[in-house]
Structure 1
Amino acid sequence: MSPRWRRFLRTLLPVTLLTVGSAYSLASWNWCGRWDERSPVVLGQARAEGSLRAGAAKVSLAPPYPVVVAGYRPPRPEASQADPVPQARAVVLAVGDVKVGLVSLELLLVPDELVAAVRERAAGLGLQDVVVVATHAHSSFGGYDSRLVSQLAGTGRFRKESLEAAVAGASEALRQSAARLTDVSLEVGEARDSVLVRSRSGGEIPDGTLTRAVLRGAEGPVAELLVFAAHPTVVPRDRALVDPDWPGRLSLLREEKGGVALVLQGAVGNVSVSFGDGEGAQKALSFARAVAGLAERVAPVEAGSPRLAFARVEVALPRPDSSRLVPSFSRAAGDNLLCASSSRTAEVGALALGPLELLLLPGEPTMGAEATLVRRTGATGVLGLADGYVAYVETPEKVEAGEGEARRQYFGPALLERLGVGAEVAARVAGFTP
């Protein structure tokens, strides 16, 4: 090595060390500050009993191709087409003057920004409130979440056009649904097949329960709500097509019988590794057919003159905690990254439709978390991925022990308690049966 290069390296080394050290110190500084606890705040409520009306619609989403395929960490494929095309599906429920909209998007998640934009555009439809949920497809398009953690972990680089595509589809589906209100009856039932699902990360074993609610008009089904928990991760990660995975295929299968079918995710479960023939898209279709068969086994019972009730509550979140997600030496930097990507509040909702009393949670509750919330509120079940996204929600005991889904939870052990207090308020306001 020449003397010139040696002198250059001797100069470069301390500069590099100083730069790295400064960056590490800056990232390790406590930028989070203090996150205060406060009582839940009721943001909206509505209750009515009597004759039920409903309207439903589905609208194809039109992402700005080429788009990143969301669902996993980098590298991610880009897609210039979809198969099947992802949809926005909506149903508007009305009893008297009370109207509530429910819109399901075939996306990985729904961030606060997307939910707020959909509600803003629906302001002229006469709805008391709007619930926005994701089917959690890990192969649909991304780019609609501006939070840095989401961009890094799942949804890819933020593009305003992707956000607009999701908002436009959801808003149009709600508009069409509100314009199609008609008298309906409500039929509710459930069936179970534990062979279809398995536990995640050694957690509680899902029982494979499917809840089916049919809104039936004079000429046939208007809409069908299917609540079933199984991660839509059947389609391969490297598939260069936008794909709504098994929930999209299940909706299409059910819609062959009439009406619009919304697939809603319950507490966390996985598609059974031993299930089905074929690979990728074929396996997704096979699983959708199996769940459709389970839906056919449901013998729904008419609910008579149902009630419709809704409550939405804002809760303060605990301080983010990356201790289970990153090495100990980068804990402070991890906390700062989560804090910069997290709202200090979240919404918890409660929706009563006839005998169904459902909690609405902005994340992915485990079976243990669902059991805790049901016990505290009397709810019949929990819908995940609703009105925001705070990642996984695990029981405090498992978070402290680093078990179950703790390594995917962005907040500390207090998260479930904060959400649980809000759920109790929402359930009480919505009139859930104790």
Structure 2
Amino acid sequence: MSSRWRRVLSTLLPLTLLTLGSAYALASWNWCGRWSERAPVLLGQVRAQGPLRAGAARVPLQPPYPVVVAGYKPPRPEASQADVTPQARAVVLAAGEVKVGVVSLELLLVPDAVVAAVRERAADLGLQGVAVVATHSHSSLGGYDARLVSQLAGTGRYRKAAQEAVVAGASAALHEAAARLSDVTLEVGEAQEPGLVRSRSGGEEPDGRLTRAVLRGAGGPVAELLVFAAHPTVVPRERASLDPDWPGRLSQLREEQGGVTLVLQGAGGNASISFDEGEGVEKARAYARTLAGLAERAAPGAVGETRLAFARAEVALPRPDSSRLVPSYSRAAGDNFLCTSASKVTEVGALTLGPLELLMLPGEPTVGAGSVLLRRTGATGVLGLADGYVGYVETPERVEAGEGEARRQYFGPALLERLGTGAELAAQAAGFTR
């Protein structure tokens, strides 16, 4: 090596090391600051009892093709079409002067910004509560979440047009549902098939329970709510077409009998499908057909005078914690990265519909976390992926041990306790009968 190059290297090397050291120090600075701890705050509550009315609607989403396919880590394909068009499905429930809307989107998740925009556009409907939930399909459109962590981890590069398509579809479904209110009766049933699910990462085993609620009008079913927990990851990865996976296909099958079917994810962040029939997309079709049969087995019984209640509680989140997600030497930088996308508050909801008392969480509660919440509140079920997204929710013991879904949880062991305290407040406000 010539003396000239030795001089160049002797100059560049210290500068390079200084630059890297400065970048590391800057990234490791505590940009998160302090996160306050406070009691949950009740955001709203309504209760009614008496004759029930309901309206439902299904509206296709209009993705701005070509659009990124959400659900998995990069690189992600772009889709220019859909095998089965993702839908927005909504039901509006009314008793007395109380009206509540639930809209289900065939998406991976629903961020706070989408929830807020949907509620804003539904303000003219006179609804005292609006819940926005995702089916958690890992092969539907992305690009609608502006948070950096979400863009990198699941939903792909943010595009305002994609977010607008999601909000517009949800708003249209709610408006159409509200315009179709009619007298209905409520029927509720359950069936169970453990062989359809399995634990993905240890912990408490999922039981394969499906809860079915039918809102039946004079001319037949108006709407049906199906609560079941299994990751919609049956459709193969790296596809160039959008697909709502088994939840979309299940809704379609059930809707052949009339009405609109909303598929709601239960507590099952560590539940993964255990099903061997078919390959590729056919496997998703077969799984949907099997679940449609399970829904038939959940023969619903009529409910008398119906309770309807809805409550929301705001919860202060713990500080983000990347200790299980990144190497120890980059822990501080990892915390800072999570803080750039994390809100300091979230909300927990509670919905009472006849005998159903359902908690609504903004994330993916594992089976174990769901069991904790059921014991604390007396709820009949826990819904995930509702009104925001804070990631996985695992039990504190498993987070501290680094087990289960802890390696995917963005927050520390205190997350479930914070959400549980808010769930207790919301459940009490919604009249849970514990």
TM-score w.r.t. length of structure 1: 0.98
Deviations 1:334-384 (A, max 9, x none): 000111110000100000000000000000001111111110101001000
Residue number in structure 2 paired with 1:272: 273
Which letter maps to 2:283?
Answer: K
Deviations 1:195-254 (A, max 9, x none): 000012112110000000000000000000000000001111111111101101000010
- Could you say what secondary structure the match of 2:231 adopts? coil
Residue number in structure 1 paired with 2:366: 366
- How far did residue 19 of structure 1 move? 1.3
Q: Give the Cα separation in 1 of the matches to 2:329 and 2:272.
A: 36
Which letter maps to 2:14?
Answer: P
- How far did residue 298 of structure 1 move? 1.0
Residue number in structure 2 paired with 1:82: 82
1:230 to 2:230 alignment = yes
- How far did residue 272 of structure 1 move? 3.3
Deviations 1:93-150 (A, max 9, x none): 0001100000000000000000000000000001001000000001111111111110
Specify every segment of 5 or more residues in structure 1 that has no aligned partner in the other structure, as ranges: none
Is 196-205 or 381-390 further displaced after alignment? 196-205
- How far did residue 2 of structure 1 move? 4.2
1:276 touches 1:286 (CA, 8 Å); kept in 2? no
Residue number in structure 2 paired with 1:424: 424
TM-score w.r.t. length of structure 2: 0.98
- Could you say what secondary structure the match of 1:72 adopts? coil
Residue number in structure 2 paired with 1:20: 20
Residue number in structure 1 paired with 2:377: 377
Residue number in structure 2 paired with 1:204: 204
Taking only the aligned residue pairs, the percentage that are identical comes to: 78
Which letter maps to 1:425?
Answer: L
- Could you say what secondary structure the match of 1:215 adopts? strand
Deviations 1:132-188 (A, max 9, x none): 000000111111111111011000111111100000000000000000000000000
- How far did residue 3 of structure 1 move? 4.0
- How far did residue 391 of structure 1 move? 0.3
Residue number in structure 2 paired with 1:47: 47
- Could you say what secondary structure the match of 1:348 adopts? strand
Which letter maps to 1:384?
Answer: G
Q: Give the Cα separation in 1 of the matches to 2:271 and 2:38.
A: 35
Deviations 1:375-420 (A, max 9, x none): 0101001000000000000111100111111101110110000000
Residue number in structure 1 paired with 2:341: 341
Q: Give the Cα separation in 2 of the matches to 1:271 and 1:23.
A: 40
Residue number in structure 2 paired with 1:213: 213
Specify every segment of 5 or more residues in structure 2 that has no aligned partner in the other structure, as ranges: none
Which letter maps to 1:226?
Answer: L
- How far did residue 9 of structure 1 move? 2.7
2:40 touches 2:421 (CA, 8 Å); kept in 1? yes
Q: Give the Cα separation in 2 of the matches to 1:158 and 1:132.
A: 20
Q: Give the Cα separation in 1 of the matches to 2:15 and 2:172.
A: 56
Q: Give the Cα separation in 2 of the matches to 1:337 and 1:288.
A: 38
Residue number in structure 1 paired with 2:433: 433
1:123 to 2:123 alignment = yes
Which letter maps to 1:184?
Answer: V
1:137 to 2:120 alignment = no
- Could you say what secondary structure the match of 1:278 adopts? coil
2:315 touches 2:347 (CA, 8 Å); kept in 1? yes
Where do residues 50-61 of structure 1 align in structure 2 (5 Å cutoff)? 50-61=50-61
Deviations 1:243-273 (A, max 9, x none): 1011010000100010000000001153434
Q: Give the Cα separation in 2 of the matches to 1:6 and 1:140.
A: 55
1:350 to 2:350 alignment = yes
Where do residues 138-153 of structure 1 align in structure 2 (5 Å cutoff)? 138-153=138-153
Residue number in structure 2 paired with 1:5: 5
1:349 touches 1:359 (CA, 8 Å); kept in 2? yes
Q: Give the Cα separation in 2 of the matches to 1:83 and 1:320.
A: 38
Which letter maps to 1:93?
Answer: L
Q: Give the Cα separation in 1 of the matches to 2:193 and 2:4.
A: 73
Q: Give the Cα separation in 2 of the matches to 1:360 and 1:272.
A: 22
- Could you say what secondary structure the match of 2:185 adopts? strand
Q: Give the Cα separation in 1 of the matches to 2:283 and 2:203.
A: 24
Q: Give the Cα separation in 2 of the matches to 1:134 and 1:238.
A: 21
Which letter maps to 1:295?
Answer: A
- Could you say what secondary structure the match of 2:242 adopts? coil
Which letter maps to 1:51?
Answer: P
- Could you say what secondary structure the match of 1:405 adopts? helix
Residue number in structure 1 paired with 2:172: 172
1:393 touches 1:416 (CA, 8 Å); kept in 2? yes
Which letter maps to 1:408?
Answer: R
Which letter maps to 2:408?
Answer: R
Residue number in structure 1 paired with 2:386: 386
2:145 touches 2:158 (CA, 8 Å); kept in 1? yes
Task: Count residues in correspondence.
Answer: 433
